[in-house]
Structure 1
Amino acid sequence: MPNNFKPSDFSRKVELGSPQSHRTGAGLNVSSFVPTYSLHFKQQKRTLSQQYTLVGTRLDGSITIIVRHDARNVNQQQARIDGTVYNLANVSPDDSNDAIRYDYLTLVKITKGA
């Protein structure tokens, strides 16, 4: 199934990286997102049927984005879009032999205290 994406579809940027723990002035250990690299992405739309299937699961409220294939994607733990940090719940890398490949990343918004 060929992907017929246009370059203009990938108009937004996502930063990918990992959390890093550091000590505050008050002596508390706090974890914050540290970006490693950024990619342009396209947000994947879900059908109503797909949304209903996710209700009540750990992926309820998640989003899926599409990025150009990058081998580093499978090693990342978090992503940041427009200042909002997400955990990478799933990375589906494109292992085809196509010249242009795309990875699908499922992101779950991080909520403080959860």
Structure 2
Amino acid sequence: MVKKLLFSEFNQRIKFGDVKYVRNPNTGDNDEEFVPDFEMWCKPQKRTANQSYSIYGTDLEGTIVVVIRHDDRVSTKLKAKYKGQTYDIVVNNPDETGDYMAYDYLTLRQVKKVG
């Protein structure tokens, strides 16, 4: 039996958008900044111990998983801002069943700035 997700568990905000160059009014320079297109409620998803061990040493090590209501606008081309940090969407597991209560599981990796 599939575990039901409660609305009360979706208590975090996540923003989706892209990193763009924005003019800094103080210096006149162009700085990279996250520019959100839309935001949603999300639920952090914990991994089981077995899941954590199975991704150890793979490309998914150091990633987090969040759950959102299904939305066709979300893709791996977007960036996500969650808890003040910018993330790449590594894996998007959308629920395309057409059910009323469909959820997408997003695997996120924190963006590391160079320099």
Asked if these proteins are the same fold (TM beyond 0.5), I'd say yes
Equivalent residue letter for 1:112: K
What is the SS of the residue equivalent to 1:52? helix
Displacement of 1:58 in angstroms is 1.8
Q: Does 1:73 align with 2:79?
A: no
Displacement of 1:76 in angstroms is 4.6
Provide the residue aligned with 2:17 in structure 1.
Answer: 17
Alignment gaps of 5+ in structure 1: none
* TM-score, length-scaled by structure 1: 0.86
* TM-score, length-scaled by structure 2: 0.85
Q: Deviations over 1:56-92 (max 9, x none)?
A: 2221110010000111012652111121111111111
Pairs aligned (count): 113
Alignment gaps of 5+ in structure 2: none
RMSD: 2.1
Q: Does 1:112 align with 2:76?
A: no
Provide the residue aligned with 1:95 in structure 2.
Answer: 96
What is the SS of the residue equivalent to 1:73? coil
* Distance in 1, Cα, partners of 2:74 & 2:58: 24
* Distance in 2, Cα, partners of 1:66 & 1:87: 15
Q: Does 1:84 align with 2:85?
A: yes
Provide the residue aligned with 2:57 in structure 1.
Answer: 56
* Distance in 2, Cα, partners of 1:31 & 1:55: 32
Seq. identity, %: 34
